Amino acid sequence: MAAIVISTFGMGYAIQPFLNSAKPIIVANSSQLKKALATAKPGDSIILKDGIYEGKFVIEANASGTKAAPIVLTGGRNAILDAGSTETGYVLSLKANYWKLKGFTMQNGLKGLVADGANYNVIDGVFVTQLGEEGIHFRTFSKHNIVKNSEVTHTGKKRPGYGEAIYIGTAYSNWAKYTAGEPDKCDSNLVLNNKLGPYVTAECIDVKEGTTGGIIRGNTFEAQGITGENSADSWMDVKGNHYLIENNIGHNTQPSVLKDGYQVNCAYEGWGSYNQFKNNISNVNADGYGINIKLKSGKGEAIGNEVYADNKVVNAGKGITNIELKKN
């Protein structure tokens, strides 16, 4: 289908390829948006006009698309979902499958976008900012999602130690609360070509124990704003298994609390293992490693992790990594 630029809505980009063939549903205020989200059917395309959409928005599980007919919610950067306060609530709660979220802004919530039991969704080109805690969170068995071409900044305004840009899974201490005591298997999620930071107060990406098989590729991390609270002292903390982390670029503007560029930890027995780091560029400017594989903890051992020789590390006091480099 040929691209059609719809400039009358203030979007300024070609959105037609992202839309479905059904007649678009155009919304201009919060009540219209809430109605459109509640009544969405497979194949629908919802277009946000520029403006402020005040409230906390929910996409329920019964409003799922399908693989053949996903549901689209799209708008320009000036279409802003605003939850009103960084003290409580989520800007957008996603509980459905097969949605495509494109281009708009989410701001002023305790958390930005939270996906619970949500699968096969695409989050593309959104801007997430001014939040009390984390920006984007895949939680409670959310699998096979993609977040790409997006930007997260100014998180952690209420609790800096919980101000991650992107958070995958659930810490084992919260499995009883969210997943009936089982590991939160938020597996096979992709984080691609995003700009994370500055002014993200915890890690740019936190990969939790219990999650497996994600890809973190082509992202840019900026450490300026990381506070060091709750052990946040790296761009990325990997506690899951079988992740591929490649082609990312990390920057560390001074002053900074950064210790290492990347850290791998065993936070729960059997986790923090078999992850691969390839072709990352790390401007560390800190005393630690570019990639610190913490081999042992009080919980167990991190085994089978690989750091490839094509990783480029600048100004890391201890060097590229603490394990033997693997040849490409």
Interval 247-265: pLDDT, tens: 999 999 988 999 999 999 9
What's the rounded Cα separation, in Å, for the pair 233 and 77? 30
Judge whether 2 lies within some domain: no
Helices (H), the chain: 30-39, 175-178
**204 in the same domain as 276:** yes
For residue 3, the tally of other CB atoms under 10 A from its CB is: 10
**171 in the same domain as 285:** yes
Across 93-112, b (16+ Cβ under 10 Å) vs e yields: bbbbbbbbbbbbbbbbbbbb
Question: Is there a contact between 104 and 75 (Cβ–Cβ < 8 Å)?
Answer: yes
Looking at 111, 130, 149, which one is the last position of a domain?
130
**218 in the same domain as 90:** no
Whether pLDDT at 60 is above 60: yes
At residue 15 the predicted structure's pLDDT band, cuts being 50, 70 and 90, is very low
- Sheet of 45-48: strand order equals 25-27, 45-48, 71-75, 99-102, 122-124, 146-148, 190-192, 215-217, 244-246, 276-278, 306-307
Judge whether 31 lies within some domain: yes
**200 in the same domain as 145:** yes
What's the rounded Cα separation, in Å, for the pair 214 and 144? 9
Give the rounded percent of residues in the chain with a pLDDT score beyond 70: 93
Judge whether 190 lies within some domain: yes
**232 in the same domain as 299:** yes
Judge whether 263 lies within some domain: yes
Judge whether 247 lies within some domain: yes
**113 in the same domain as 208:** no
Give the chain's domain count: 2
**242 in the same domain as 112:** no
Q: Provide the token pair at 31.
A: 């009540």
Residue 281: what are its φ and ψ, rounded to 5°?
-110, 120
Estimate the share of the chain in helix, then strand, then coil, as percent rounded to the nearest 5: 10, 35, 55
Kindly give the pairing relationship between strand 220-222 and strand 25-27: unpaired
**158 in the same domain as 116:** no
Note the pLDDT of residue 2. 38
Compute the average pLDDT of residues 242-246. Answer: 99
Q: Which of 176, 241, 177, 240 is nearest to 208 (CA)?
A: 240
**125 in the same domain as 160:** no
Compute the average pLDDT of residues 152-175. Answer: 98
Judge whether 54 lies within some domain: yes
pTM of the prediction?
Answer: 0.93
Whether pLDDT at 93 is above 80: yes
Q: Provide the token pair at 110.
A: 């305790």
**48 in the same domain as 172:** no
Judge whether 270 lies within some domain: yes
Judge whether 6 lies within some domain: no
**32 in the same domain as 74:** yes
**80 in the same domain as 216:** no
Note the pLDDT of residue 23. 80
Note the pLDDT of residue 20. 59
Note the pLDDT of residue 255. 87
Range of the domain at 50: 21-130
